[in-house]
Amino acid sequence: IHERGYVHRDIKTGNILVTRDPGRPPTAIVIDLGLVKANQARRDAASPPTTEVGRMLCTPGYTSPEQAAGLPVDRRADVYSMAVTLYRVLAGRLPFHDARGQPVMFVLAKHIYNEPTMLAEAAAGADIPPKIAQVIESALRKRPEDRPPTMLAFAEALRVAASEATSVAPRR
């Protein structure tokens, strides 16, 4: 999606299907392209609006700080949402678990202003390699320019962290 100049804007656990063909590693497929938007660089004055003024489209628990604030988004917003998704898979909860059941604006404010619970603390006992946790947490930074610049860079950083973790200690 990113390589074609679009931003998904709704990466979350429910929008990723994992398939496994016999004898092959699992494959993740991103679905639900209902909120996909052309990246700012691909838009011009003649481009039609993609979201109504004053209307926010997102899943609050997974939305990036810039999207929560109603600012322009690029692929780094999806990197943030993927980090939230991985956090949820590893910790069994969202980074701002204390906002669960609260009004939407409270959840969005958490993404904008608060730091998430560290992954190692949220997933105590899960034995997550520290380098993997660090990569995921780097993608949860508030400022887009402080996150991995692309989903491919994020994936590569995770791959490197995972390979370092398996070379240090045998996997259980």
Contact 68, 80 (CB under 8 A): no
In this structure, what token pair is assigned to residue 50?
């993609």
Helix (H) or strand (E) holding 32: none
Query: Of 10, 78, 127, 146, which is the active-site residue?
Result: 10
Q: Which is nearest to 144 in space by CA: 73, 84, 94?
A: 73
The answer to whether the CB of 61 falls within 8 A of the CB of 98 is no
- Contact assessment for residue 136 and residue 119, using Cβ atoms and an 8 Å cutoff: yes
Report helix, strand and coil shares of the chain as percent, to nearest 5.
45, 5, 45
Q: Catalytic site residue 44?
A: no
Give the catalytic positions in this structure. 10
